[in-house]
Amino acid sequence: MALRETIKYLFTQEYSLLRDALQTLASRLGLKDGDIYFVYPKELPNLVADPSSFNHLLQSRKQSFSNYDKLNLPHIIRDSDIAFLKLSSEDVDDFIEIRGKFLAEGQQVEGVVVNLDQLEDPRQASQVMDTYRNQGIPIILVATQMNLGHDPLIALSSGLVLENAGIVSHGAQRARELGKGAIGGIRSERLKTGMKVLFDPANKLVRRIE
């Protein structure tokens, strides 16, 4: 584990330098916040030479990326699936039971959802979790993905639901190290903070409790 965390630290440190350079470049070119991340590395010289020529391209790429979250994608995409890919039209609040994929073994728990994607930052999440913990209510922590900054929250939870996570993802590994169950492959937006659920990692499902 120590080696794994050291590697993560080194990669993060290198990325921080690149991010600072890109942010400085974007500021000098007068780009909108975040637009620089829609430019490919090989395009940077052309962007510097003529920033205005990228306006339409940046808007197109931003729209494409915003559509990705709305796509209803299977976990494995085959050639035969491509023609049937479409924007999801499901009602994210209307479900009784959702099945995902195994990430970590753990106990079946009836608890309340705390969705990190719906909260501003880990500090707010901690405050919400404290409210439920003071009432003795187990917490099912939900997120698109988790990182080192979520470790204190993971430790206080009774189970994890991770939308984009594999068996070796940080959240899954921390769950196994702490003996908590974890389920992957469930869209985080379907689980709202405050929702009461049955969390059953053995059967890879989350069932809504009315």
pLDDT tens digit sequence for 82-135:
666 666 555 455 789 999 999 999 999 999 999 999 998 888 999 999 999 999
Distance (Å, whole) CA 207 – CA 210: 10
**Which numeric CATH code is attached to 97-208?**
3.50.30.10
Distance (Å, whole) CA 108 – CA 181: 8
The pLDDT of residue 73 is 64
pLDDT band at 76 (very low <50, low <70, confident <90, very high): low
What is the model's pTM? 0.62
Cα 195 to Cα 128, 150, 187: the distances in Å are: 13, 21, 15
Closest CA to 132 of 158, 152, 151, 150: 158
Sign of CA pseudo-dihedral 126, 131, 134, 135: negative
Q: Which two tokens stand for residue 58?
A: 């940046």
> In this structure, are residues 35 and 26 in contact, taking their beta carbons and an 8 Å threshold?
yes
> In this structure, are residues 169 and 162 in contact, taking their beta carbons and an 8 Å threshold?
yes
Judged by average pLDDT, the poorest of 51-60, 62-71, 134-143, 155-164 is 62-71
Cα 50 to Cα 32, 36, 37, 138, 183: the distances in Å are: 15, 14, 17, 55, 47
pLDDT band at 10 (very low <50, low <70, confident <90, very high): confident
Closest CA to 161 of 109, 127, 115, 129: 115
- Residue 25, classed as helix, strand or coil, is helix
Q: Which two tokens stand for residue 71?
A: 């796509």
Tell me what the pLDDT averaged over the chain comes to: 87
Between 66 and 166, residue with greater pLDDT: 166
Q: Which two tokens stand for residue 11?
A: 């990669």
How is the chain split into domains, by residue range?
Answer: 2-68, 97-208
The average pLDDT across 75-83 equals 66
Specify the amino acid at residue 61. R
Distance (Å, whole) CA 46 – CA 55: 12
User: b/e per residue, 25-41, with b = 16+ CB within 10 A?
Assistant: ebeeeebeeebbebbee
Does residue 155 have a pLDDT over 80? Answer: yes
Type and span of the H or E element at 129:
helix 122-133
